[in-house]
Amino acid sequence: MRSRIVGYIASVFYPFCLVFGLYVVTHGHLTPGGGFQGGAVMATAVALMIVSGMFTVAVREKKVVRYKWCEALGLLLFVALAFGGMLQGGSFFHNWLANAGGCFGEAVAAGPNGGALNTGGTIPLMNLAVGVEVFGGISIILVTMVRAMKENRDG
């Protein structure tokens, strides 16, 4: 039942889907969206691959191991950032990067402005962590479901 045209178009869309998801993740502190939503959009790319009949690519064991790594490392980064607040003298989850200069450390300009990406302290980093984690997690769910479906059909 695999259509060559659908498969081809889907693989063209695949990177765009990922990039859009990444956009939602990185602009999480400025625009609607954020880590979870962006991660879900990125996982949609995997879903696209699966429904267009390319699941032999998406559900390969090597890929699944990669999704698991995404999930674990995203979560680890998130908790490490939360503990970082504690190490910097604040409480757990203290935003220790905000207004400190450097990476995401710019102070937010007062009044209406276009939104500067380089603000927010740990929040954009946490968004990134959640985005990676959700991408990995939802992809694993999708792959597991497809495998169960295949087993049902084949068995």
Enumerate binding residues for other proteins (CB under 8 A): 68, 71-73, 75-76, 79, 82-83, 85-86, 89-95
The least CB distance from residue 113 to other proteins, in Å, is 18
State which residue, 43 or 54, has the beta carbon closest to other proteins: 43
The least CB distance from residue 74 to other proteins, in Å, is 9
The least CB distance from residue 117 to other proteins, in Å, is 22
Helix (H) or strand (E) holding 138: helix 122-154
State which residue, 8 or 83, has the beta carbon closest to other proteins: 83
- Scored b (16 or more CB within 10 A) or e, 5-22 reads eeeeebeebbeebbebbb
State which residue, 38 or 74, has the beta carbon closest to other proteins: 74
- Please list, in sequence order, all residues whose beta carbon lies within 8 angstroms of the beta carbon of residue 88, skipping any fewer than 6 positions away: 94, 96
**Of the candidates 53, 55, 76, the residue with the CA atom closest to the CA atom of residue 132:** 76
Residue 88 CA, distance from chain mean position: 27
State which residue, 19 or 145, has the beta carbon closest to other proteins: 145
Residue 43 CA to residue 27 CA, distance in Å, equals 18
The least CB distance from residue 79 to other proteins, in Å, is 5
